[in-house]
């Protein structure tokens, strides 16, 4: 049995098998208090009142766990059973035979300034269930995402896109056809604003460097904020 310190998670970034272990990457919080933010009395708040409710709970950050699949009864106690040299996540056998798993942080300290990350996306078509390098998500400095983030889980670096007054939906990655490069593609997402004098828009970013390639604006209308989306070829 594997166990770890308590945490809460909504979304799994990716998972893959390597050298007899399952590597699982999750968006984690230290507790489940964030659910309190979504109670009706908090959602009815606005401005500083809403920010105060949101900032009172733990933020979400990407973490990696390594779970050994085959553990010998003769495995030594107190030693890390993970053979993965590229990860600082550990799996240590205890005196009772259970495996204590400590996670690896997959982000640089700069991500804490962005309020953490959620609603991730990877190049699922080529790297789902495989060793990978990049994921994309929403920076959550507020109750809804206010930035778009690219995280390099190998080199622990990040890129950030933000435009004041706009709130991006979950990013959607669309690869360039015929390429095997993980981040060779574009990022689509919808940016919503409560400012009735500005237009909502669909933004297209180069997934490699986060440079804007184009945007399609919608005339000023009331559009609801949405978390999830997908891309379908017709």
Distances (CA, A) of 162 to 27, 148, 193: 21, 6, 12
Both 189 and 229 in a single domain?
yes
pLDDT tens for residues 49-76?
Answer: 767 766 667 788 999 999 999 888 788 8
Both 57 and 129 in a single domain?
no
Q: For Cα atoms 119, 120, 124, give the angle at the middle one, nearest 5 degrees.
A: 135
Binding site annotation covers 142?
no
Q: What's the CA gap between 83 and 68, in Å, rounded?
A: 9
Both 122 and 227 in a single domain?
yes
pLDDT tens for residues 126-135?
Answer: 999 999 999 9
Domain termination residue (choose one: 56, 89, 106): 106
pTM: 0.88
Helix-strand-coil percent breakdown of the chain, rounded to 5?
A: 10, 40, 50
Domain termination residue (choose one: 88, 106, 124): 106
Q: DSSP code of 116?
A: B
Both 189 and 121 in a single domain?
yes
Q: For Cα atoms 48, 49, 52, give the angle at the middle one, nearest 5 degrees.
A: 80
Number of domains comprising the chain: 2
Range of the domain at 227: 107-234
Given a contact cutoff of 8 angstroms between Cβ atoms, the answer to whether 162 and 156 are in contact is no
The DSSP bridge pattern shows strands 185-192 and 172-175 to be antiparallel
Both 96 and 120 in a single domain?
no
Both 76 and 141 in a single domain?
no
Both 1 and 72 in a single domain?
yes
Q: DSSP code of 144?
A: S
Binding site annotation covers 228?
yes
Q: Is the model more confident about 8 or about 136?
A: 136
Q: List phi, psi (to 5°) of 38.
A: -90, 10
Sorting pLDDT into bands at 50, 70 and 90, what band is 143?
low
Both 87 and 114 in a single domain?
no
Q: What's the CA gap between 77 and 62, in Å, rounded?
A: 28
Both 94 and 161 in a single domain?
no
Q: Is the model more confident about 209 or about 74?
A: 209
Both 70 and 185 in a single domain?
no
Distances (CA, A) of 127 to 16, 142, 160: 9, 30, 22
Domain termination residue (choose one: 106, 124, 147): 106
């Amino acid at each position: 049995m594997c166990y770890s310190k308590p945490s809460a998670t909504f979304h799994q970034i990716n998972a893959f098998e390597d050298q007899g272990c399952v590597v699982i990457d999750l968006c984690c919080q230290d507790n489940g208090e964030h659910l309190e933010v979504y109670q009706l009395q908090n959602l009815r708040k606005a401005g500083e009142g809403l920010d105060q409710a949101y900032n009172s709970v733990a933020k979400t950050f990407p973490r990696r766990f390594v779970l050994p699949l085959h553990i010998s009864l003769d495995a030594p106690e107190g030693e890390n059973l993970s053979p993965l040299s590229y990860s600082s996540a550990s799996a240590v056998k205890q005196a009772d035979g259970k495996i204590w798993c400590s996670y690896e942080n997959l982000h640089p300290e700069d991500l804490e300034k962005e309020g953490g990350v959620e609603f991730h996306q990877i190049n699922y078509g080529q790297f789902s269930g495989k060793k990978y390098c990049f994921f994309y998500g929403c920076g959550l400095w507020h109750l809804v995402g206010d930035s778009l983030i690219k995280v390099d889980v190998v080199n622990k670096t990040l890129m950030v896109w933000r435009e004041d007054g706009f709130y991006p939906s979950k990013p959607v990655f669309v690869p360039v056809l015929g390429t095997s490069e993980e981040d060779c593609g574009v990022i689509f997402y919808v940016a919503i604003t409560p400012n009735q004098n500005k237009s909502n828009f669909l933004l297209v970013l180069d997934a490699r460097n986060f440079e804007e390639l184009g945007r399609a604006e919608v005339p000023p209308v009331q559009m609801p904020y949405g978390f999830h989306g997908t891309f379908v070829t017709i």
